[in-house]
Copies of this chain bind each other. A is one copy, B any other.
Amino acid sequence: MTIQLYCFGESGNAYKAALTMQLAGVEWEPVFVDFFHGETRSPEYLALNPMGEVPVMVDGDVTLSQSGVIQDYISSKTGKFGGRSANERREVLRWVFWDNHKMSSQCGTVRFLMNFLPEEKRPAEVITWLQGRLRGAFKTLEAALGGKEWLVGDQPTIADFACCGYLYYPEPFGFDRADWPNIDAWLDRIAALPGWKHPYDLMPGSPADRAT
Protein backbone atom coordinates (compact mmCIF):
# COMPACT_ATOMS: atom_id res chain seq x y z
CA MET A 1 0.00 0.00 0.00
CA THR A 2 1.28 3.45 -0.90
CA ILE A 3 2.05 5.61 2.12
CA GLN A 4 0.60 9.11 2.01
CA LEU A 5 2.46 12.09 3.39
CA TYR A 6 0.58 15.32 4.02
CA CYS A 7 3.20 17.94 3.27
CA PHE A 8 4.26 21.05 1.38
CA GLY A 9 7.59 22.06 -0.14
CA GLU A 10 8.49 24.82 2.31
CA SER A 11 8.21 22.55 5.37
CA GLY A 12 11.58 21.27 6.48
CA ASN A 13 9.83 19.09 9.05
CA ALA A 14 7.89 17.42 6.23
CA TYR A 15 11.13 17.12 4.26
CA LYS A 16 12.73 15.02 7.02
CA ALA A 17 9.90 12.48 6.72
CA ALA A 18 9.77 12.62 2.92
CA LEU A 19 13.54 12.25 2.57
CA THR A 20 13.58 9.28 4.95
CA MET A 21 10.90 7.51 2.88
CA GLN A 22 12.57 8.45 -0.39
CA LEU A 23 16.02 7.17 0.61
CA ALA A 24 14.58 4.05 2.27
CA GLY A 25 12.86 3.25 -1.04
CA VAL A 26 9.31 2.89 0.28
CA GLU A 27 6.33 3.60 -1.96
CA TRP A 28 4.88 6.94 -0.96
CA GLU A 29 3.02 9.88 -2.41
CA PRO A 30 2.67 13.46 -1.25
CA VAL A 31 -0.70 15.00 -0.40
CA PHE A 32 -0.36 18.76 -0.78
CA VAL A 33 -1.37 20.81 2.28
CA ASP A 34 -2.14 24.44 1.49
CA PHE A 35 -0.50 25.81 4.61
CA PHE A 36 -0.21 29.33 3.28
CA HIS A 37 -3.98 29.53 2.86
CA GLY A 38 -4.64 28.24 6.37
CA GLU A 39 -5.42 24.58 5.61
CA THR A 40 -3.71 23.33 8.80
CA ARG A 41 -6.17 25.40 10.86
CA SER A 42 -9.25 23.97 9.09
CA PRO A 43 -11.63 21.63 10.98
CA GLU A 44 -10.91 18.87 8.40
CA TYR A 45 -7.17 19.07 8.97
CA LEU A 46 -7.51 19.27 12.75
CA ALA A 47 -9.61 16.09 12.60
CA LEU A 48 -6.63 14.41 10.88
CA ASN A 49 -4.10 15.95 13.26
CA PRO A 50 -5.31 17.79 16.39
CA MET A 51 -1.80 19.21 16.79
CA GLY A 52 -2.45 21.13 13.55
CA GLU A 53 0.98 20.33 12.18
CA VAL A 54 2.59 19.14 8.98
CA PRO A 55 3.71 16.44 8.21
CA VAL A 56 1.15 13.70 8.78
CA MET A 57 1.83 10.19 7.50
CA VAL A 58 -0.93 7.69 6.74
CA ASP A 59 0.10 4.06 6.23
CA GLY A 60 -3.06 1.95 6.16
CA ASP A 61 -4.57 2.28 9.62
CA VAL A 62 -1.50 3.98 11.11
CA THR A 63 -1.71 7.79 11.18
CA LEU A 64 1.26 9.64 12.66
CA SER A 65 2.51 13.16 13.07
CA GLN A 66 5.79 14.62 14.32
CA SER A 67 8.60 14.09 11.83
CA GLY A 68 10.78 12.28 14.38
CA VAL A 69 8.08 9.68 14.99
CA ILE A 70 7.51 9.17 11.25
CA GLN A 71 11.25 8.80 10.70
CA ASP A 72 11.44 6.25 13.50
CA TYR A 73 8.44 4.36 12.07
CA ILE A 74 9.90 4.18 8.54
CA SER A 75 13.28 3.19 9.90
CA SER A 76 11.74 0.36 11.97
CA LYS A 77 9.53 -0.75 9.09
CA THR A 78 12.39 -0.96 6.58
CA GLY A 79 15.29 -1.78 8.89
CA LYS A 80 17.20 1.13 7.34
CA PHE A 81 18.92 4.23 8.74
CA GLY A 82 18.23 3.44 12.40
CA GLY A 83 21.74 2.59 13.60
CA ARG A 84 23.24 -0.86 14.01
CA SER A 85 23.27 -1.47 17.76
CA ALA A 86 21.22 -0.49 20.80
CA ASN A 87 23.82 2.16 21.54
CA GLU A 88 23.70 3.58 18.01
CA ARG A 89 19.90 3.56 18.06
CA ARG A 90 19.89 5.64 21.25
CA GLU A 91 22.44 8.02 19.74
CA VAL A 92 20.27 8.37 16.65
CA LEU A 93 17.21 9.18 18.75
CA ARG A 94 19.28 11.65 20.77
CA TRP A 95 20.23 13.62 17.65
CA VAL A 96 16.68 13.54 16.33
CA PHE A 97 15.47 14.98 19.65
CA TRP A 98 18.27 17.52 19.72
CA ASP A 99 17.36 18.64 16.23
CA ASN A 100 13.68 19.03 17.11
CA HIS A 101 14.48 20.78 20.36
CA LYS A 102 17.39 23.03 19.50
CA MET A 103 17.83 23.34 15.75
CA SER A 104 14.94 22.81 13.34
CA SER A 105 12.36 24.48 15.54
CA GLN A 106 14.49 27.63 15.42
CA CYS A 107 15.42 27.29 11.72
CA GLY A 108 11.85 26.84 10.62
CA THR A 109 10.60 29.73 12.72
CA VAL A 110 13.22 32.30 11.79
CA ARG A 111 13.03 31.35 8.10
CA PHE A 112 9.26 31.83 8.24
CA LEU A 113 9.55 35.20 9.99
CA MET A 114 12.21 36.46 7.55
CA ASN A 115 10.75 35.18 4.29
CA PHE A 116 7.07 34.32 4.52
CA LEU A 117 5.72 37.18 6.61
CA PRO A 118 5.01 40.57 5.01
CA GLU A 119 8.02 42.81 5.54
CA GLU A 120 6.20 45.19 7.90
CA LYS A 121 5.21 42.32 10.19
CA ARG A 122 8.70 40.90 10.73
CA PRO A 123 9.71 41.16 14.41
CA ALA A 124 13.30 42.36 14.27
CA GLU A 125 14.24 41.66 17.89
CA VAL A 126 12.82 38.12 17.73
CA ILE A 127 14.70 37.39 14.50
CA THR A 128 18.02 38.57 15.94
CA TRP A 129 17.45 36.59 19.13
CA LEU A 130 16.51 33.39 17.28
CA GLN A 131 19.55 33.72 15.01
CA GLY A 132 21.78 33.96 18.08
CA ARG A 133 20.34 30.72 19.42
CA LEU A 134 20.71 29.09 16.01
CA ARG A 135 24.41 29.93 15.88
CA GLY A 136 24.83 27.91 19.06
CA ALA A 137 23.10 24.96 17.42
CA PHE A 138 25.20 25.21 14.24
CA LYS A 139 28.32 25.27 16.39
CA THR A 140 27.29 22.04 18.13
CA LEU A 141 26.53 20.37 14.79
CA GLU A 142 29.76 21.60 13.17
CA ALA A 143 31.80 20.22 16.09
CA ALA A 144 29.96 16.89 16.03
CA LEU A 145 30.82 16.43 12.35
CA GLY A 146 34.54 17.09 12.86
CA GLY A 147 36.44 14.12 11.42
CA LYS A 148 33.21 12.21 10.85
CA GLU A 149 31.17 11.46 7.76
CA TRP A 150 27.86 10.90 9.53
CA LEU A 151 26.41 11.91 12.91
CA VAL A 152 26.14 8.37 14.31
CA GLY A 153 28.36 5.44 13.40
CA ASP A 154 29.81 5.21 9.89
CA GLN A 155 26.60 5.20 7.87
CA PRO A 156 23.81 7.69 7.24
CA THR A 157 20.89 7.51 9.67
CA ILE A 158 17.65 9.36 10.30
CA ALA A 159 19.71 11.60 12.62
CA ASP A 160 21.36 13.05 9.50
CA PHE A 161 18.02 13.33 7.69
CA ALA A 162 16.54 15.20 10.68
CA CYS A 163 19.36 17.69 11.20
CA CYS A 164 19.61 18.58 7.48
CA GLY A 165 15.87 19.29 7.27
CA TYR A 166 16.10 23.07 6.79
CA LEU A 167 19.64 23.39 5.48
CA TYR A 168 19.10 22.96 1.72
CA TYR A 169 16.58 25.79 1.39
CA PRO A 170 17.67 28.86 -0.57
CA GLU A 171 15.79 31.46 1.51
CA PRO A 172 18.08 33.39 3.87
CA PHE A 173 17.61 32.81 7.59
CA GLY A 174 21.07 33.14 9.09
CA PHE A 175 22.70 29.95 7.80
CA ASP A 176 25.47 30.21 5.22
CA ARG A 177 27.11 26.92 4.29
CA ALA A 178 30.44 28.69 3.70
CA ASP A 179 30.65 29.50 7.44
CA TRP A 180 30.41 25.86 8.48
CA PRO A 181 32.77 23.63 6.46
CA ASN A 182 31.96 20.34 8.20
CA ILE A 183 28.23 20.91 7.80
CA ASP A 184 28.80 21.94 4.18
CA ALA A 185 30.67 18.74 3.29
CA TRP A 186 28.11 16.61 5.14
CA LEU A 187 25.23 18.23 3.22
CA ASP A 188 27.06 17.28 0.01
CA ARG A 189 27.40 13.69 1.25
CA ILE A 190 23.68 13.47 2.00
CA ALA A 191 22.84 15.01 -1.39
CA ALA A 192 24.99 12.32 -3.08
CA LEU A 193 22.91 9.45 -1.64
CA PRO A 194 20.97 7.53 -4.33
CA GLY A 195 17.48 8.97 -4.73
CA TRP A 196 18.17 12.27 -2.90
CA LYS A 197 16.10 15.22 -3.99
CA HIS A 198 15.94 18.87 -2.97
CA PRO A 199 12.85 19.68 -0.85
CA TYR A 200 11.25 21.73 -3.63
CA ASP A 201 11.65 18.75 -6.00
CA LEU A 202 10.57 16.09 -3.52
CA MET A 203 7.36 17.76 -2.30
CA PRO A 204 4.67 19.89 -3.99
CA GLY A 205 4.61 23.64 -3.40
CA SER A 206 7.35 26.25 -3.27
CA PRO A 207 7.65 30.06 -3.13
CA ALA A 208 8.00 30.00 -6.94
CA ASP A 209 4.57 28.37 -7.26
CA ARG A 210 3.01 30.92 -4.97
CA ALA A 211 4.54 33.81 -6.90
CA THR A 212 2.83 32.78 -10.14
Contact = CB atoms under 8 A, between A and B. Distances in A.
Interface of A: 50-52, 62, 64-69, 72-73, 87, 90, 93-94, 97-98, 100-102, 105, 123, 125-126, 129, 140, 143-144
User: Ordered nearest first, which 5 A-B pairs have the shortest CB separation?
Assistant: A125-B125, A66-B97, A100-B101, A68-B97, A69-B94
A98 B66 contact: yes
B105 A101 contact: yes
A140 B94 contact: no
Q: How many copies of the shown chain assemble into the complex?
A: 2
B123 A94 contact: no
Majority SS at the chain A contact face = helix
A98 B51 contact: yes
Contact of A101 (B64, B101, B126): B101
Contacts of A144: 50
A52 B144 CA distance: 12
Nearest to A105: B101
Contacts of A140: 50-52
